[in-house]
Chains A and B, each alone.
Chain A
Amino acid sequence: MTFADFIVTNAPALLVAIPLFAAFLCPVMGKISSTVRNCWVMGMMLITAAIAFILAYRVFATGPVLYVFGAAAANLAIPLDSGGIPIRIIFTVDAMSAFMEIICAIVGLTVLLYSLSSESRNSSLEGYYTLFFLMITGVLGMVSTGDLFNFFVFLEILSLASAGMIAYRIDGGIAVEAALKYFILSTLGAIFILFAIGIFYGEYNALNIAMIAQRMQYTMLDKIALVLIIAALAMKCGAVPLHFWTPDAYSMAPASVTAFLVVASQASLYGLFRVLFTMYNVTMNCVTVGWIIIILGVLSMVVGVTMAIPQKDIKRLMAYHAVSQTGYMLLGVGVGLAVLGNAALTSAFGSMAMEGGIFHIFNHAMYKGLLFLTAGVIVYRIGTRDLNKMGGLGHTMKYTMIFFIIGALAIAGIPPLNGFASKQMIYESVYLFNPLLAIIAMVVSILTLASFVKVFHSVFMGPQLPEYAGVKEAPLPMLIGMGILAAICILFGLFPQPVVDMLVAPAVHALADQSGYIASVLGGA
């Protein structure tokens, strides 16, 4: 077959194999010279992003793509002599998976471009790029897989690599303390997920998500497994009440890594939605579980923004805002889950709520990544993270100031940026569900704007301080990286309707449609 056919057919496997291959060869490239390593790293990331976009285009055009590892053909999910049971590891890439892969590819490419110049002052960079590619493998594997135990393995790859990267610049020990907190909580969560996987295997003798979804009866053991999985994955994505690793880890990691940790948290959020919508769907009590997710979301929103206001460390403040924005996603999708059993309410406001929540995942990765990268530029040029010591940087760092303004307006939900589009969808649909929740969401949005006005004033406004007189603008690769994210923020804000129609609505439809998922894996049986 031709080269294009080869890439298109094998894209799900290449999506995991190429970053792994790149990660394994990074130490060797680093020993040769640093230019060779930079070229290798950039080239491999471009290839990975290209394959992710090709795969996403194919999925949005023709429907879910299956890839069975080690079978005679790529879409032979059920071997002919097995009696109707899928026995191999299957990568099921449907529209929601493709949506998350696009996010990972864009943010990964931007972060790599940024870190080529922000890390150039440091030594021993082979470990940095190896761990970075392992993080990319982890995220891409988590969102593409259709097998529960494979999800657990990629989750562990992601959390080990993230813990290593958070502690990367030891910083007198503080970064290692943050990484230790993150890693112990993450390991506890993973052990609970493994318990739940054991319960599912013992009950249904299957590890494939479609197989468990087909055989699911909502017994008492399934309720226990649901509680374990919700607790573990809500901890991994930074929802209250288990959010206290988020400010430490996000503030101590290097800035480029923090922008990618946001994507990692959202991959765990994807895992939560996949389990709730595809495995359980209407067999569970949708209203109760939906209300639990809504309450987690409201708590995250309120606690995140109120803890963010008195912060003095710029990255810690942004990390609390990340917790708050995760609350918006949980609120939107929780409302969609609560009305899932009711077809009339779903078509009235349920699917709009879910579209708002899932569109917010994309927007949050974009503007939160942009904000963390601008914070990284400030720390790179000045050397301190304390807001009290900064001031008057707008005189010299003009581009950084513009990017910061775009990011701050986007997070506060001001038109015409992309935050407004997704927040508007969430407000409208949640108001029809329960007016009090929408009012709380709007108040949190106003407090977010207030907090970022404070940060903007104390960093960029004011007279130029004498100790910062020689501070230059950010280097060019960093500006290009931030520019890509800012351009997407503006573009998605000006034209949200085509984005929702082409990207978000198919993703929501694929997520909520359990029988379609089962049919695509098990072949309509």
Chain B
Amino acid sequence: MSRIVRTAADLLYPTILIFGLYIIAHGHLTPGGGFQGGAVIATGGALVIVAYSYKEVTGWLTKNVLMGQEVIGLVGFIGVGLLAFAFGQVFFFNYLNASGSLFGIPVPYGINAGELNTGGFVPLMNFAVGIEVWGGLTLVLIYMLSGLEKEVC
């Protein structure tokens, strides 16, 4: 692609990344969460693949890296749930809720301005799902592109 498109993709991709991570991180306060944020970041990945040619992008972003990212996200999700067994509770019990540690402030009821440090392990699960969806959707994109004879350019 021409220089203008590549420069625009360079400038836009960090913005899209930050926006997607914002959606993931504030999933327990505003609409959004894991899947939505991950899908936004994967769309940014599609922008980079269109701007630079497919061969260049797969030169430095291999399928193994994305598969590893997917596995980390999935294992993180199930690990957070299984960690509840270590505290003697049932599966998926919210052991961080109102506990004073990470994300541990009790949720203020009623209309408020939104406190980020609340929610228990829900933000952790949002991050796990966001990383997994980012890796998974980008992997689907790359596999589909590698199945064609010609490349997307």
Contact = CB atoms under 8 A, between A and B. Distances in A.
Q: Do chains A and B touch in the complex (CB under 8 A)?
A: yes
A21 B90 contact: no
Contacts, number: 45
A456 B68 CA distance: 49
Contacts of B81: 17
Contacts of A80: none
B92 A25 contact: no
Contacts of B74: 24
B67 A24 contact: no
Chain A CB within 10 Å, residue with most, of B64, B85, B88: B85
Contact of B90 (A27, A31, A73): A73
A20 interface: yes
A31 B67 CA distance: 11
Interface string A1-29: 10000100010011001001100110110
Contacts of B140: none
Nearest to B67: A27
A86 B91 CA distance: 17
A44 interface: no
Interface stretch (A62-70, A99-107, A425-433): A62-70
Contacts of A72: 89, 93
B117 interface: no
Contact of A25 (B75, B85, B90, B91): B75
In this complex, the interface size class of chain A, counting residues with CB under 8 Å from chain B, is 20 to 34
B78 A67 contact: no
Interface residue SS majority, chain A: helix
Given A21-B78, A21-B82, A27 B94 contact: no
Nearest to A26: B71
B129 to A, nearest CB: 13
A67 B91 CA distance: 9
Interface residues of B, number: 17
Interface core residue of A24, A67, A70 (most chain B CB under 10 Å): A24
Nearest to A6: B85
Contacts of B88: 1
Interface in A50-76: 67-74
B75 A24 contact: yes
Contacts of A6: 85
B149 to A, nearest CB: 17
Interface string A235-261: 000000000000000000000000000
B90 A28 contact: no
Contacts of A13: 90-92
Nearest to A20: B78
Contacts of B68: 28
Contact of B92 (A1, A27, A69, A73): A69
Majority DSSP secondary structure for residues of B touching A: helix
Contacts of A69: 90-92
Interface string B12-29: 000000000000000000
Interface string B79-118: 0011001001111111000000000000000000000000
B133 to A, nearest CB: 14
A13 B88 CA distance: 14
A72 B94 CA distance: 9
Nearest to B75: A24
B67 A71 contact: no
Given A10-B85, A24-B71, A28-B71, A70 B78 contact: no
A254 to B, nearest CB: 21
A31 B65 CA distance: 13
A17 B82 contact: yes
A70 B91 CA distance: 6
Nearest 6 A/B pairs, CB to CB: A13-B91, A24-B74, A70-B92, A69-B92, A74-B90, A70-B93
Interface of B: 64, 67-68, 71, 74-75, 78, 81-82, 85, 88-94
25 contacts: A1-B88, A6-B85, A10-B90, A10-B91, A13-B90, A17-B78, A17-B82, A17-B91, A24-B71, A24-B74, A24-B75, A25-B75, A27-B71, A28-B68, A28-B71, A67-B90, A67-B91, A69-B92, A70-B90, A70-B91, A70-B94, A71-B90, A72-B89, A73-B90, A74-B90
Given A21-B75, A28-B68, 17 more contacts: A1-B88, A10-B90, A13-B90, A17-B81, A21-B78, A21-B82, A24-B71, A24-B78, A25-B71, A25-B75, A27-B71, A28-B71, A31-B64, A68-B90, A71-B90, A72-B93, A74-B90
